[in-house]
Amino acid sequence: MDLEQIKKSAINEINNASDVKLLEGVNVKYLGRKGVLTNILRSLKDLSMGDRRKIGPKANILKKELEDLIGKKKNSFINFSKDDLFFDVTKPGLKISSGHLHPLSKIDAEVRKIFLSMNFSVVDGPEVESEYYNFDALNIPANHPARDMWDTFWLKSSGPAKSKFLLRTHTSPMQVRFMETHNPPFQIIVPGRVFRYEATDMSHEFNFYQIEGLMVGHDISLANFKFIVEEFCKKLFGPKIQFRFRPSYFPFVEPGLEVDIKLGSGSWLEVMGAGMVQRNVFDAVRYNPDEVQGFAFGMGLDRLAMIKYKIPDIRLFYNGDLRFVRQF
Amino acid sequence: MKFSFPLIKRFLPLVKNKAQIIEALTMYAFEAEDSIGNSFEVNLPPNRYADVSSHWGIAKELAAIFDWFVDYGGMKKLPVVDFIKNKLSVNKKKNLDIEVWDHKLCPRYTACYLEGILIKDSPKWLQDVLIDCGLRPINNVVDIMNYVMLEMGQPLHAFDVDKLEGGKIIIRWAKRGEKMITIDGVKYDLTPEILVIADAKKPVAIAGIKGGRGPEVSETTKRIIIEAANFDSVSIYKTSKILGLVTDASVRFSHLLSGELAILGLGRSAYVLKDLFGAQIIDYFDSRKKPLPKHILKFDINKFNKFIGTKLKCEEVGAYLRRLGFRNVLKDEWEVPILRTDIENHEDVIEEAARLQGFNNLKPQAPKVNLVPATEDDVIILKEKARCALASFGVDEVYNHSFVAKKDLNLVGVKLDGAVELENPISQEFQYLRPSLKPGLIANFEHNSKFFNDFKIFEIGKIFNRNGKRIKEYNSFGILFASKNKETFFPLKGVMNSFLKSLGVIDFIFAPENSSKLAPFQENSALKLEVDGNVIGYLGKFADVFKDWQVSISELDFDKLLESIESEEEFQPLSKYPAVIRDISIFVGKAVQIGDLMQEIELSNKELINDVDLVDEYFDSKRSNKQSLTFRIVFQAKNKTLTSEEVDREMDKIISLLKRKFGVEIR
C-alpha cells in the first residue's frame, strides 16, 4: 500500500468512526505499535537513501496529519456532539446522600424564625413538672372540674412525697417559671414536648409538641395579640389565609379565645388557644395585676405541621419510619 | 351537653334553625355543634355551668347575642311558684321535718311538699325534650324533675313521703360502714366525708349525685317532697371521683351553682306539676333565711379599652352588659346576674362585654415595644446546629415516644429503681420514661431494616432517671448507623469526629472502654468520649443480635456537650511554605492499638507534623500475629520550606520511637 492509499483509507475510516472506541481502533490500525504507518516508518531504515528521502518526510507528514485528525475527532466526541450519545447529559447526576430533618424540627425552626423576627425570645423548659406549675399556679385548682380538661400522666413517687410530679400537659407552666425570674416588658415563645393521657388515633398522640407564647408589658392588649397572631400565621401559611377568633375558656387566661384558620376553600381548622393572662397567674408570680397586662397563647406544633405539609396522621411523626422522614 | 332545638324555639320564636344557633354560640359564647334529630351539642366551658347548663340559660345567651327578648309564653319571666308571695309558710312539724347538719357542704336546701299526685305518663312534647337530650321518659313526676333540670339547670329529686322513715329528711355525713343501693341497683360503701340525704334511719340519696332505692317515686306514689338543693362543688367533685359515679347532677354541682337556682328550680317544678297535673302545693322549706347578697362590681371603661385595645364609649359597652342581664345600679356600678357564680372581678366583666362585641370584630394593632435583642436559649441553638450538621453528613432525624417498656430498661442496663415509672401508663409497653434514646433508635432500626439496607439516624430528646426521690431529666443525643454486611463503627466514629468539631468541641478524645459492663455494646468494641476529662458519652458496636446487620450506636449527654463547647472558629494563618508528605509502612504486633501509634507519631514533633492518617491496613497470612499498617504523615513548617534532610531526620526519629516503644518493623 502506498502512502496515498493509506491516507485515503485512513481519513475515510476516521470520518466514519462513530465513537471513541472505533476511533481508537483506527488509531491502533494506522498509528499503533504495529500500525500500517508505523510499520512503514520503521521499515525506512531498510530502504535506500533515495527512497528514504522520498518516503520518509511524506510518511512523517502523514503521521502528523492523521494524529491531528484523530485528535480533533476525539475532541468532537468529548465536546457536545449532536448525534453521539457518549456524553449523555440526561444521565442522572451523582447521588449525594444528605440527611433529612424531621418535619417537626423543620416547622419548629420556621416558627422560631418568625417569632425571632418579631422580637420574641425563645426559651426552653422541663418536661417533668410539679403539680403546682402545671395546674395550681395557672389558676387550675385541685378538685375543680376544669382540671379534667387535661388528662394527665402522673409519675410514681418513691415513698411519701409532699407534691406530686407529672408530665407537663402543656407548655404553659413555663409562663409561671419565666415570670418568676423575669420582669416585664418581655415577649417569649416556649417550644416543647407535652403529654396527654389519651388513646392515640389519627389526630391524637400521648406525646406531642406545643409552642407557648407570652407577651407582658404595661399596655399589651388583646388587639396586640390579634396583630401578632395574624402576622405569624400569614408568614407561616401565606398571605391568603383567613382567620376566625372566637371565645373559649382556659382558666389561666381571660378573655379566653381560640383561633381558627382557613386555607383556600378548606374548612376552619383550630390552631391555637389564647387569651389575656388571668389575674391569678400574675398574683402567683408576684406581679401586680393592676400594673401589668399581656397575652398568652399555645398552639400544637404537630397540628401546624400536619396542615402545612398535608400530613393526615399524627402517629407518622413518632414511628421513626424513614420512608416518611425522607420526604422532608 | 345536648340541647333540644324545639325547647329553645319555645323561648326564642325568632330563631330560624340549629345552624343559626350553632354559629352564634360558636362566635360569641362557646363552641357548639350539630347533632342528630332535633338536638344540638354545646361544649360548655367549666365556668358557665352555673348559668347556661340549661335551655333557659342558652336562650338568654342567644337573646343577648341577637339582642332579642326571651319569650316566656306571654309572661314577664319564667313562671315559677313564688312561695313567699303565696304565703306558704314553713310548717316543718306537720309536713316537712328537715335538718341540715353541715351548712358549708350544703349551703342551701329547699324542698316542697305536694299532695294529689297521680302517677302517669308525661305529655309527648315533654317526653320529646327528654329524648332530644338523651334522657329516657319514666313517669310524670320523674320526667318533670328531669325536664326542669334541663330547662333551668337545677338538679331536682323527688321522694315518696310515705316511704321516708319517720317522715324525716336529714342532710348529714354518712356513718362509717353505711351502705346504700342507688335506684339503678348499684351498691356503694359510704365514708364519713360523703354527704348523704337520710331519713330517720338510713341514707336515701348520695347528696347531689344520685338517689337511693326505697323512697323513690313509684306507681303508687301519692304525696311527694321535691328537693332542690345547693351543695359544695369541691365536695361533690371529690365524692363523685371517690365513688366513680358521674351523673347529670354531680357534673352540675361540681361546677358551683348559685344557691338562688335551687329556689327557682323548686318553684318551677312545683309550678309545672301543678299546671300539668293539678298537684297541690302544701308547704315548702328553705334552709336559707336571708336572700343572697347582691353582687356589685365597678366597671371602668378606660381599663376596658386599655385591656382589649379598643376606643369604645361607656354606653356601647354598657349596652352589651345590659343584654347579658347586668344591671347598672349606680354610675359605674353594675349588679352581676344572680346565677353567674363565674363573675368575680373586673376582668370577668371585661370578657363578657368583649366577647359579645365579637373577638372577630376587633381590629389588630401592632404592639408598641422597646426593642431588646431577641435571644434563644443555648440548648435550642445547639439543637438546631446539631441537626443541620448531621443532615449535612447524611444522617436522617427521627422522633420517638418518651416512654419505654421494662425490657428496654434491661437492654440499656438501667435498674428499675433508677428509672422513672408512670403511675398511670397507657400500657406496659409505655410504662417508664425513657432513660436513654437507644431503645427508640433500635426499634427504628428494626422497623427500617425492612425497607432499607443501609441507613443512619439520629434523635435529640429528653431522657429521664431517678436518684432516690429526685427525678432528673437530661437532653440527650443518640445516633445509630446500620448496614447490611458493611462495617458501621468507623463511619460512625468519623461522623462523630466531624460532628463534634462542627459544634465547636475542640479537645475531645475517644478512649477505649471496657464494654462488658456497658450494655448494649459488644465486647471490646466501645469507646468513651471524653472532653476535659469528663465522660460525655459512649460509642460502640451493637451486640450481634441482628443477622447480617452491622449496627453501631452512640449516645451523648447533650447538656454536657453544650458545656464543652469552647469557642467560635478562629482564623489560622495559611502557611506560605509547602507541605511534605511521607508514608511509613510498618509491621507491628496485633495487640498494639493504632490510636497509640498515631498519637506517638503526632507527639514526636507537634510543631512540624500537621496531620497523621492511616492510609492502609492489612493482615498477612504469613505473619499471623502482626498487622501491616501504612501511615501518611504531613510535615509543614510555619516559617520556612522544609528540606528533604530535615524531614528525613524527623522520619528517623519517628521510626526509632516506634521501634523502641512498640517493636515495629519497617516494611
Residues of chain A by 3-state class (helix, strand, coil), percent to 5: 45, 20, 35
For the segment A283-308, what is each residue's pLDDT rounded down to a tens digit?
Answer: 999 999 999 999 999 999 999 999 99
Looking at domain A103-325, what is its CATH homologous superfamily?
Bira Bifunctional Protein; Domain 2 (3.30.930.10)
ipTM: 0.89
- How much is the average pLDDT of B22-51? 96
- In the three-class reduction of DSSP (H, G, I as helix; E, B as strand; rest coil), residue A127 is classed as coil
**Contact between chains at B398 and A325 (C-beta distance less than 8 A):** yes
Q: Is B388 on the interface with A (CB under 8 A)?
A: yes
E strand spans, B498-566: 508-513, 521-531, 534-542, 549-557
The model carries a pTM of 0.85
Q: Note which residues in 199-238 of chain A have CB less than 8 A from chain B.
A: 199, 206-207, 215, 217, 219-224, 226-228, 230
For residue B294, the distance in angstroms to the closest alpha carbon of chain A comes to: 23
Q: Is B60 on the interface with A (CB under 8 A)?
A: no
- How much is the average pLDDT of B493-508? 91
What is the chain A residue with the closest CA to B422?
A155
Q: Is A317 on the interface with B (CB under 8 A)?
A: yes
Q: Which residues contact B149 (CB under 8 A, 6 or more apart)?
A: B54, B155, B156, B248, B249, B252, B265
For the segment B616-650, what is each residue's pLDDT rounded down to a tens digit?
Answer: 888 877 777 888 899 999 999 888 888 989 999 99
Q: Note which residues in 315-354 of chain B have CB less than 8 A from chain A.
A: 345, 347-348, 350-351, 354
- How much is the average pLDDT of B321-343? 94
Is A196 a catalytic site residue? yes
- From the list A101, A119, A167, the residue facing B391 with the nearest CB is A101
**B135: how many CB neighbours lie within 10 A of its CB?**
18
For the segment B42-82, what is each residue's pLDDT rounded down to a tens digit?
Answer: 999 999 999 999 999 999 999 999 999 999 988 889 999 88
* Residue of A214, A224, A241, A269 to mutate when probing chain B, most B C-beta within 10 A: A224
Taking CA atoms, A170 is separated from A126, A174, A212, A281, in Å, by 11, 9, 8, 15
For residue A172, the distance in angstroms to the closest alpha carbon of chain B comes to: 17
- In the three-class reduction of DSSP (H, G, I as helix; E, B as strand; rest coil), residue B364 is classed as coil
pLDDT, residue A242, reads 94
For residue B657, the distance in angstroms to the closest alpha carbon of chain A comes to: 42
Q: Is B359 on the interface with A (CB under 8 A)?
A: yes
Residue B166 confidence class, pLDDT cut points 50, 70, 90: confident
**Residues B497 and B509 sit within 8 Å (Cβ to Cβ):** no
Q: Which residues contact B52 (CB under 8 A, 6 or more apart)?
A: B29, B42, B44, B58, B60, B61, B153
What is the DSSP code (8-state) at residue A258? E
**Contact between chains at A222 and B354 (C-beta distance less than 8 A):** yes
Q: Is A245 on the interface with B (CB under 8 A)?
A: yes
**Residues B519 and B411 sit within 8 Å (Cβ to Cβ):** yes
- How much is the average pLDDT of B138-149? 96
Q: Is B467 on the interface with A (CB under 8 A)?
A: no
For the segment A162-208, what is each residue's pLDDT rounded down to a tens digit?
Answer: 778 999 999 999 999 999 999 999 999 999 999 999 999 999 999 99
pLDDT, residue B376, reads 94
For residue B160, the distance in angstroms to the closest alpha carbon of chain A comes to: 32
- From the list B366, B425, B447, the residue facing A321 with the nearest CB is B447
For the segment A223-269, what is each residue's pLDDT rounded down to a tens digit?
Answer: 999 999 999 999 999 999 999 999 999 999 999 999 999 998 889 99
Angle, CA B259 vertex, CA B254 and CA B262 arms, to 5°: 95
- How much is the average pLDDT of B383-407? 96
pLDDT, residue A72, reads 84
For the segment B350-378, what is each residue's pLDDT rounded down to a tens digit?
Answer: 999 999 999 999 999 999 988 889 999 99
Is A59 a catalytic site residue? no
For residue A90, the distance in angstroms to the closest alpha carbon of chain B comes to: 25
Is A296 a catalytic site residue? yes
Residue B428 confidence class, pLDDT cut points 50, 70, 90: very high
Ranges of each domain in chain A? 3-84, 103-325
Closest alpha carbon to A143 in B241, B249, B372: B241
Region of residue B78 (left: phi > 0; alpha: psi -120 to 50; beta: else): beta
Count of A–B CB contacts within 8 Å?
240
For residue A89, the distance in angstroms to the closest alpha carbon of chain B comes to: 26
What is the chain A residue with the closest CA to B456?
A99
CA B179 – CA B169 distance, rounded (Å):
17
- In the three-class reduction of DSSP (H, G, I as helix; E, B as strand; rest coil), residue B111 is classed as strand
What is the DSSP code (8-state) at residue B434? -
Residue B6 confidence class, pLDDT cut points 50, 70, 90: very high
**Residues A165 and A128 sit within 8 Å (Cβ to Cβ):** yes
Is A327 a catalytic site residue? no
Active-site residue, from A253, A274, A277, A285: A253
pLDDT, residue B621, reads 74
Active-site residue, from A150, A271, A277, A281: A150
CA B364 – CA B308 distance, rounded (Å):
10
Cell 422522614 found at = A325
For the segment B248-293, what is each residue's pLDDT rounded down to a tens digit?
Answer: 999 999 999 999 999 999 999 999 999 999 999 998 999 998 889 9
**A91: how many CB neighbours lie within 10 A of its CB?**
8
**Residues B418 and A123 sit within 8 Å (Cβ to Cβ):** no
> Chain-wide mean pLDDT for chain B?
92
Q: Note which residues in 368-387 of chain B have CB less than 8 A from chain A.
A: 368-372, 374-377, 379-380, 384, 387
Question: Mapped to the 3 state alphabet, what secondary structure does B635-652 carry?
Answer: ECCCCCCCCHHHHHHHHH
Q: For residue A255, is the peptide bond before it cis, meaning its omega torsion is within 30 degrees of 0?
A: yes
- What length does chain B have? 667
* Residue of A95, A100, A106 to mutate when probing chain B, most B C-beta within 10 A: A100
